[in-house]
Chains A and B, each alone.
Chain A
Amino acid sequence: MERARRGDGDAFAALVRANQEIAFRTAYLITRNAADAEDAAQEAFVKAYRALHRFRRGAPLRPWLLRIVANEARNRRRSAGRRDALALRAAAEAPSGDAAPSPEGRAIAADERRRLLSLVEALPEDQRLVVTCRTFLDLSEQETASVLGVRPGTVKSRFSRALDRLREADA
């Protein structure tokens, strides 16, 4: 980080590589469009580099970086374009291994996953984002707060309300 701050391009490239997946996926959850997410993540890294002199020494990088990513993603989301729905990987539809269930069991498990995902997708956007950031991306409360532009306490309460709503719908 210090080397990147001093203008070391290789150090910043390493920082990009280490964070590009979480940056891209965060942007994707907001834009729901892979091309927009890539643009947003790329622009965010460029802006982050140019603002590194303002980054507080010793502060965690990810919340700061993800806030920039989220802002770029929101800017792109405003434009018209196709929006993807989250889907399961094909492999997740048919788990394998020694403990593989029967064909009927696999179908039920896949149905349950799809149903749970559809319940998440049906949440209001503010709740859906907090759930997807906290569970699908495994972001901390602080990181999620940065993405959403709210306080960590708001993340906590919003996440709790979203889980309550999912439990109710899942019952």
Chain B
Amino acid sequence: MPELETRLRALAGELAFPDTPALADVVALRLAEPTPQRRRWALRLAVALAVLVAAIGATLALSPGARSAFLEWLGIRSAVVVRVEELPPVTPADSLEFLGEQVSLEEARRRAGFEPLQLEGAGPPDAVYVKEPGMISFVYGRDLDVRLILSQVNGAIDRGFVFKKVGAGGTLVEELTVDGGRGLLLTGEPHGFAYVAPDGSFHDERLYLARDVLLWERGPLTLRLEGELTRDEALALAGRVG
């Protein structure tokens, strides 16, 4: 070990850290309190997940990663929902890194090549992510307190595609109209997602958390909204994206 690093590590035992408080009892008391009721979405939404919405390719070619038979698919411009007989175990990812790189809004615009729509009344997002070739995600909240994620992709992108995989049983897929455009609402059981990258490689992604999802088209964009939302809340929020 380099000499300097050795000296620094030796210093560790000589630091005057404040005494560590005993936290177990007070944490137990806190946990015994009733869980606060969830407020309206704008105040406190539950943990949410952003899932990639990318471009749809000309052919839906299920790779070996899609381990069960294709049963049904529903598509809106840049996203495909695939219903399969058996969904692999849905495991939360441990970070939002799969949304791409966290950048400034200006940098996201530059890299994605389009002007993202804003969620009116929500204020600036807590984090902005961009993922090649052109998806922008607005994250509201942080880590375990992530409340809402709005992802948008320019529908003109035609390399690769994403499909959401839903189990044959529990997940409901409803086709609806969102602000005059086509939409899909996925509710119920957790759902996974996977995508085929522009180079043709198949990626079966872990999930941060699977929650209800609204996918819809708006002009040239495909949008995806995820949070713990009722159907009406999701539609109301979608109406405020502009």
Contact = CB atoms under 8 A, between A and B. Distances in A.
A42 B31 CA distance: 11
B140 to A, nearest CB: 15
A108 interface: no
Contacts of B27: 12-13, 16, 42, 45-46, 49
Contact of A24 (B4, B23, B97): B23
B38 to A, nearest CB: 13
Contacts of B2: 163
Given A28-B18, A71-B143, A13 B26 contact: no
Contact of A135 (B12, B16, B25, B28): B12
Interface residues of A, number: 56
B232 interface: no
Contacts of A17: 22-24
Contacts of A24: 18, 20-21, 23
B4 A117 contact: no
Interface in B7-21: 7-9, 11-18, 20-21
B143 A131 contact: no
B22 A20 contact: yes
Given A51-B144, A166-B4, A20 B12 contact: no
A50 B35 contact: yes
A88 interface: yes
Given A71-B143, A136-B8, A21 B30 contact: no
B9 A135 contact: yes
Contact of B8 (A42, A46, A131): A131
Interface residues of B, number: 37
Nearest to A90: B16
Contact of B94 (A50, A56, A75, A163): A56
Contacts of A55: 92
Given A51-B144, A54-B92, A64-B94, A16 B18 contact: no
Contacts of A9: 28, 31
A25 B8 contact: no
A167 B26 CA distance: 43
A171 B134 CA distance: 48
A20 B24 CA distance: 8
Interface of A: 9, 12-14, 16-17, 20-21, 23-25, 28, 34, 37-38, 41-42, 45-51, 54-56, 59, 63-64, 67-68, 71, 75, 84, 86-92, 113, 116-117, 120, 131, 135-138, 151, 163, 166-167, 170
Interface of B: 2, 4-5, 7-9, 11-18, 20-28, 30-31, 35, 47, 91-92, 94-95, 97, 142-145, 209
29 contacts: A12-B31, A17-B22, A20-B21, A21-B20, A23-B23, A34-B18, A37-B18, A49-B27, A49-B31, A51-B144, A55-B92, A56-B91, A56-B94, A67-B94, A68-B143, A71-B142, A87-B16, A88-B16, A89-B15, A90-B16, A113-B11, A113-B14, A131-B8, A135-B8, A135-B9, A137-B12, A138-B9, A138-B12, A166-B4
Given A45-B27, A71-B142, 10 more contacts: A20-B22, A42-B27, A46-B30, A47-B145, A50-B31, A87-B15, A87-B16, A88-B11, A89-B15, A170-B4
List the 7 closest A-B pairs by CB distance, nearest first.
A92-B14, A135-B8, A34-B18, A13-B24, A16-B24, A21-B20, A136-B12
